[in-house]
Chain A
Amino acid sequence: NAGVMQNPRHLVRRRGQEARLRCSPMKGHSHVYWYRQLPEEGLKFMVYLQKENIIDESGMPKERFSAEFPKEGPSILRIQQVVRGDSAAYFCASSPRDRFPEQYFGPGTRLTVT
């Protein structure tokens, strides 16, 4: 059973471009969580999704950020018109159902905005 997969592992974007980060959960997992780790800061929750539903996006910046988890395919975290402050490591985790004890983490995508 492959683990949580994220791609790309490293992404470089110029200011104003769009960034798309992908997360494929573990097989059989229908719950996805995104976290962001800014340089020299702790991890922060961004959004919790189930298939075709956003359950909690309380940690998402109000503008430019969006997330989806379609019926088919990976979860996508989309950042429009990136700025240097978006440079961070973005981690995705999955679990088979809510209230399951453990979230399984992917290797992360490191976004650099130049």
Chain B
Amino acid sequence: KQEVTQIPAALSVPEGENLVLNCSFTDSAIYNLQWFRQDPGKGLTSLLLIQSSQREQTSGRLNASLDKSSGRSTLYIAASQPGDSATYLCAVDSNYQLIWGAGTKLIIKP
């Protein structure tokens, strides 16, 4: 049974810092992995999708990597801004179901 874990559960850093969010999964047989952002009381914003054959994807200040063999993905955020404050969710597509991590709550202090 696929399980997805995100570490840390919460993170608070000063503005301008580079940071890394971690996601691990127990079954390497995945089709893809997605990173989402969720603001309080709001919906889901898709940030990056990495297909199983890919190693990384980049969008602006965001870079996501995937290592299937070790069951890990990281989301790198460069030059963090207060507007990046949100909960970041990792989701693994194992068999059309998305299996979700509990998220990392990120606070960027001005």
Contact count A vs B, C-beta below 8 Å: 54
Contact A56 B46 (CB under 8 A): no
Does B98 lie at the interface of the complex (its beta carbon under 8 Å from any beta carbon of A)? yes
Contact A48 B100 (CB under 8 A): no
Contact B98 A33 (CB under 8 A): yes
Number of interface residues of A (CB under 8 A): 25
Does A52 lie at the interface of the complex (its beta carbon under 8 Å from any beta carbon of B)? no
Contact A106 B102 (CB under 8 A): no
Give A56 to B34 CA distance when docked, in angstroms: 21
Q: Which residue of B lies closest to A91 (CB)?
A: B44
Does A18 lie at the interface of the complex (its beta carbon under 8 Å from any beta carbon of B)? no
Give A42 to B23 CA distance when docked, in angstroms: 14
Q: Could you say which of B43, B44, B96, B101 contacts A48, with CB atoms under 8 Å apart?
A: B96
Contact A101 B44 (CB under 8 A): no
Contact B100 A99 (CB under 8 A): no
Q: From residue B110, how far is it (CB to closest CB) to chain A in Å?
A: 26
Give A35 to B100 CA distance when docked, in angstroms: 10
Partner-A contacts on B (CB < 8 A): 31-32, 34, 36, 41-44, 46, 49, 51, 89, 91, 93, 96-103
